[in-house]
């Protein structure tokens, strides 16, 4: 697979304008094409598409990870630490409630990472991470 491979993720939302404000405004993803039923976002160089499908929104199942109940269905990005910290501040200022507050996981171990979980306005779970050493993303 070429190193320039990109992912495409389509997901449901119950309000396109709320998705536009959240992903475009708060998260900072530039908007691409759109219609009355969907919006493309440039999600850190990848294609994220919010589809109007209210009946598909929200999460239910969780999985126990390091003493936290992590939403089983979630997506996000691995970003630089300064971007991660700035995002955490923007989310707090905007009043976004964290599912899992920002914290450092595996401190002092291979794969040390900052992580946080939160929901978008349609109940989709997101996780944003920042690795102390990006070469250790897959470290065991």
**Residue 1: inside a domain, yes or no?**
no
pLDDT tier, 59 (very low <50, low <70, confident <90, very high otherwise): confident
pLDDT tier, 83 (very low <50, low <70, confident <90, very high otherwise): very high
> 94 vs 70, 85, 132, CA distance in Å?
22, 14, 26
Higher pLDDT, 96 or 66: 96
**Residue 120: inside a domain, yes or no?**
yes
Q: Is the pLDDT of residue 44 over 80?
A: yes
Higher pLDDT, 13 or 69: 13
Average pLDDT value for residue range 91-103: 97
Residues 73, 49 share a domain: no
User: How many structural domains is the chain composed of?
Assistant: 2
Q: Which range (13-17, 22-26, 71-75, 90-94) has the least confidence? A: 71-75
Average pLDDT value for residue range 70-86: 96
CB 70 within 8 A of CB 55: no
Residues 45, 79 share a domain: no
Residues 126, 74 share a domain: yes
CB 127 within 8 A of CB 91: no
What are the two backbone dihedrals, phi and then psi, of residue 129, each rounded to the nearest 5 degrees?
-125, 160
Residues 132, 66 share a domain: yes
Average pLDDT value for residue range 15-25: 98
Residues 71, 114 share a domain: yes
Residues 127, 99 share a domain: yes
What pLDDT is recorded for position 2? 58
CATH no. for residue 27?
Answer: 3.10.180.10
**Residues spanned by the domain of 26:** 8-55
CB 120 within 8 A of CB 23: yes
Average pLDDT value for residue range 72-101: 97
What pLDDT is recorded for position 3? 64
Residue 63 makes CB contacts below 8 A (sequence gap 6+) with: 69, 70, 72
Q: Is the pLDDT of residue 82 over 70?
A: yes
């Amino acid at each position: 697979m070429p190193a320039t491979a990109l992912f495409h993720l389509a997901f449901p939302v119950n309000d396109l304008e709320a998705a536009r404000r959240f992903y475009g405004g708060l998260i900072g993803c530039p908007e691409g094409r759109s219609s009355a039923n969907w919006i493309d976002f440039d999600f850190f160089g990848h294609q994220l598409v919010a589809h109007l499908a209210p009946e598909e929104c929200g999460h239910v199942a969780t999985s126990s990870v390091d003493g936290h109940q992590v939403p089983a269905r979630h997506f996000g990005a691995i970003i630089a630490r300064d971007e991660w910290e700035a995002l955490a501040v923007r989310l707090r200022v905007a009043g976004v409630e964290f599912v899992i507050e920002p914290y450092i996981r595996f401190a002092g171990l291979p794969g040390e990472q900052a992580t946080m979980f939160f929901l978008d306005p349609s109940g989709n779970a997101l996780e944003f991470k920042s690795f102390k050493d990006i070469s250790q993303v897959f470290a065991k």
